[in-house]
């Protein structure tokens, strides 16, 4: 345990090791891994493009978000803050952006272009400081930050309480009840520290497999 606490991230190799640690703690985790196998190592490159993708995923299906992202990529060839700021409202709409998400992505691009936000610097901050900086950007809430921390920076101990698929999977697997409050869920998940990200990934993977969901996660 002592060596683990020196690490705050996971990778493709250590992911399985941490899954095994959780399986030794909880027979339900062991059962899930026995049923569906180890989850894949999902990775997105840290930066603007991944944040755009995560913003698109807010409150819609992964398939819908990816379709919009693909249209944006086809239009721009390379998704960058400068090219996004050169887009008209009509171009955004042609890609499938809602007016709200158009505003969010433009706002993020403006912060980066103006130099008020530096993602290279941000990515090296501790979780608390990074969260504080990103939450200052309109349209970026705790869920968006959590997914960025998990899928781009691979932080080891993140639990996105606002993720509906995760909560549904926890209910289906018997970890919580539908009537449990957020506070109660947070308390229950504390037992999986400092590997709450690994717990999250296992439950995400179970949800995808059980519900036969096809996703394009890596960017």
* Domain pair 4-42+157-210 / 48-151, same fold: no
- pLDDT band (50, 70, 90) for residue 5: very low
- In whole angstroms, how far apart are CA 175 and each of 29, 72, 83, 180, 188? 10, 39, 45, 10, 8
pLDDT tens per residue across span 80-97: 999 999 999 999 999 999
Structural domain 48-151, CATH architecture: Orthogonal Bundle (1.10)
pTM: 0.92
pLDDT tens per residue across span 53-65: 999 999 998 889 9
Question: Residue ranges of the domains in the chain?
Answer: 4-42+157-210, 48-151
CB-based contact 39:205 (threshold 8 Å): yes
Six token digits for residue 174? 């018997």
Beta partners for residue 155, in sequence order:
9
pLDDT attached to residue 1:
41
Residue 216 has pLDDT above 80, yes or no: no
pLDDT attached to residue 65:
94
Percent of the chain beyond pLDDT 70?
95
Residue 209 has pLDDT above 80, yes or no: yes
CB-based contact 122:134 (threshold 8 Å): yes
Per-position DSSP letters for the chain, written without gaps between them: -TTGGG--B--HHHHHHHHHHHHHH-HHHHHHHHHH-PPP-----SSHHHHHHHHHTTTS-HHHHHHHHHHHHHHHSS--HHHHHT--HHHHHHHT--HHHHHHHHHHHHHHHTTS--HHHHTTS-HHHHHHHHHTSTT--HHHHHHHHHHTS-BSS---TT-HHHHHHHHHTTSS-TT--HHHHHHHHGGGTT-HHHHHHHHHHHHHHHTT-------
The CATH number of the domain covering residues in 4-42+157-210: 1.10.1670.40
């Amino acid at each position: 345990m002592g060596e683990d606490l020196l690490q705050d991230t996971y990778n493709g190799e250590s992911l399985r090791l941490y899954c095994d640690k959780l399986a030794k703690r909880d027979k339900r985790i062991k059962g899930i891994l026995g049923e569906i196998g180890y989850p894949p190592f999902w990775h997105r490159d840290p930066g603007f493009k991944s944040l755009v993708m995560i913003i698109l995923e807010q409150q819609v299906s992964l398939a819908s978000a990816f379709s919009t992202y693909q249209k944006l990529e086809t239009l721009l060839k390379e998704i960058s803050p400068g090219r996004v700021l050169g887009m008209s409202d009509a171009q955004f709409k042609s890609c499938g952006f809602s007016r709200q998400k158009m505003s969010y992505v433009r706002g993020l691009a403006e912060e980066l272009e103006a130099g008020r936000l530096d993602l290279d610097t941000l990515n090296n901050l501790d979780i608390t400081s990074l969260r504080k900086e990103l939450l200052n950007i309109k349209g970026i809430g705790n869920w968006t930050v959590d997914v960025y921390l998990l899928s781009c920076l691979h932080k080891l101990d993140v639990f996105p309480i606002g993720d509906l698929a995760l909560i549904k999977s926890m209910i289906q697997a018997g970890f919580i009840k539908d009537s449990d409050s957020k506070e109660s869920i947070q308390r229950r998940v504390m037992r999986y520290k400092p590997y709450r990200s690994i717990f999250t990934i296992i439950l995400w993977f179970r949800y995808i497999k059980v519900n036969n969901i096809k996703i394009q996660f890596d960017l």
